[in-house]
Structure 1
Amino acid sequence: MSKFFDHITPELTEFIRAQPVFFVATAAPEGRINLSPKGMDTFRVLDEKRVAYLDLTGSGNETAAHLLHDGRITIMFCSFDTNAEIARIYGRGFVIHPSDERWRELIANFPNLPGVRQVMEIRVESAMTSCGYAVPRMRETTARDTLEKYWTKKGEQEKEDYWQKHNLRSIDGLQTGMPETTPRPRR
């Protein structure tokens, strides 16, 4: 049976912290709906009405574009172990970049990981739990370290160059809010 909440309860917080993966869904008023899996200890419950996740550099920047143009976001946590439960958070999201005033406050909640792009802060409008009876039981064997190794090897300049080439616009052509910079000459 589904249960609805207007905030994040202590029980929901406990369930969320136990999940190694979460899913983020966003959409702009027009265009594609984006659904992305996330992991790597990047989600935090800040208080009963605010959550945030550390966004690492990836192939696109759809979530940022959608939040800039619409703001709606759904985050889903799904238990793949013996506890057959699903939790969803519904809210309005905001992108916080390293140059933003609130960056230091938010980034302090997360581990120091290579490839950091931005923090997504979500104001919780509602949350719900539901059964996960049809979700298979699966085991987490090991965390995947591919992204960490990739951005450690590339370094800051190559990360910023990647942003300029791949992260300024969504696949539907929407601006993502990332600042454009003048390319630096290579040494």
Structure 2
Amino acid sequence: MGRQYSELSDKHQAFIGEQKIFFVGTAVDSGQVNVSPKGGDSLRVIDPTTIAWMNLTGSGNESASHVIQNPRMTLMFCAFEGPPVILRAYGTARVLHRADAEWERLSSLFPPSPAARQIFVLDINLVQSSCGMSVPYYDYKADREDLDKWSQRQGPDGIEKYWVTRNQRSIDGFETEIIERAGLDKDPG
């Protein structure tokens, strides 16, 4: 059975630190529910009630568009080795872009990446752990290097052009604010 907590314990934080993948869930009142896998060195527990994660450039930008309209977010971590555990952190999120005041401080917590698009900060209001006895075992082999290689080939200008042409709206047509809040020109020229 699940157990609920008001914040992340030291044990929860250690478990999160061992995970190679986590899942982000967001939704608004209409349109699609988004569940997105994330990996790499892209998540930091700031304190027992705050998690930040670096969102790298990808084909969609659903989390950003959802958080603008409805800041609810769930992060889920699963044990794919060792004892079975599922850990969820529920809360209210905000999305930060390059031009936002907190960007420099929080981005310094992560490895530099030309693909860095946004940082999400989750203020946790509930933590739930459950058994995860049906979650299969999986072996971690390595992080994929595809996004990093693609980003290096694009360079900063290519990444920004991609944001202008592909990341301004969600699949449901919701605004992501990436251009304005990153301080970019809407014409990728």
TM-score by length of 1: 0.96
Q: Which residue of 2 aligns with 1:56?
A: 56
Provide, for residues 68-110 of structure 1, a one-character-per-residue CA deviation record: whole Å limited to 9, x for no partner: 0001000000010122111000011101001001111111111
2:184 aligned with 1:183, yes or no? Answer: no
Q: Which residue identity lines up with residue 76 of structure 2 in the other structure?
A: M
Taking the aligned partners of 1:168 and 1:69, their CA distance within structure 2 comes to 14
Distance change in 2, residues 1:28/1:14 (3 Å): same
Taking the aligned partners of 1:101 and 1:72, their CA distance within structure 2 comes to 22
Taking the aligned partners of 1:141 and 1:114, their CA distance within structure 2 comes to 24
Q: Which residue of 2 aligns with 1:146?
A: 146
Taking the aligned partners of 2:81 and 2:91, their CA distance within structure 1 comes to 27
Contact 2:2 2:129 in 1 (8 A): yes
Provide, for residues 111-147 of structure 1, a one-character-per-residue CA deviation record: whole Å limited to 9, x for no partner: 1123110101111111111011111111011211110
Q: Which residue of 2 aligns with 1:30?
A: 30
Provide, for residues 132-180 of structure 1, a one-character-per-residue CA deviation record: whole Å limited to 9, x for no partner: 1111111011211110111011100010000011111111011112125
Taking the aligned partners of 2:26 and 2:95, their CA distance within structure 1 comes to 13
2:73 aligned with 1:70, yes or no? Answer: no
Taking the aligned partners of 2:82 and 2:32, their CA distance within structure 1 comes to 34
Greater than 3 Å deviation, 4+ residue runs: none
Q: CA RMSD in A?
A: 1.0
Q: Which residue of 1 aligns with 2:13?
A: 13
Contact 2:114 2:159 in 1 (8 A): no
Q: Which residue identity lines up with residue 3 of structure 1 in the other structure?
A: R
Q: Which residue of 1 aligns with 2:160?
A: 160
Alpha-carbon offset, residue 184 of structure 1: 5.0
Q: Which residue identity lines up with residue 39 of structure 1 in the other structure?
A: G
Distance change in 2, residues 1:29/1:184 (3 Å): closer
Taking the aligned partners of 2:188 and 2:36, their CA distance within structure 1 comes to 31
Mark the runs of 5 or more structure 1 residues left unpaired by the alignment. none
Q: Which residue of 2 aligns with 1:96?
A: 96
Taking the aligned partners of 1:177 and 1:184, their CA distance within structure 2 comes to 15
Q: Which residue identity lines up with residue 161 of structure 1 in the other structure?
A: K
Mark the runs of 5 or more structure 2 residues left unpaired by the alignment. none
Matches within 5 A, 1:58-137: 58-137=58-137
Taking the aligned partners of 1:142 and 1:130, their CA distance within structure 2 comes to 27
TM-score by length of 2: 0.95
SS class of match (1:89): strand
Q: Which residue identity lines up with residue 135 of structure 1 in the other structure?
A: V
2:43 aligned with 1:43, yes or no? Answer: yes
Single out whichever of 103-112 and 30-39 deviates more from structure 2.
103-112
Q: How much identity, in percent, do the aligned residues show?
A: 37
Q: Which residue identity lines up with residue 33 of structure 2 in the other structure?
A: I
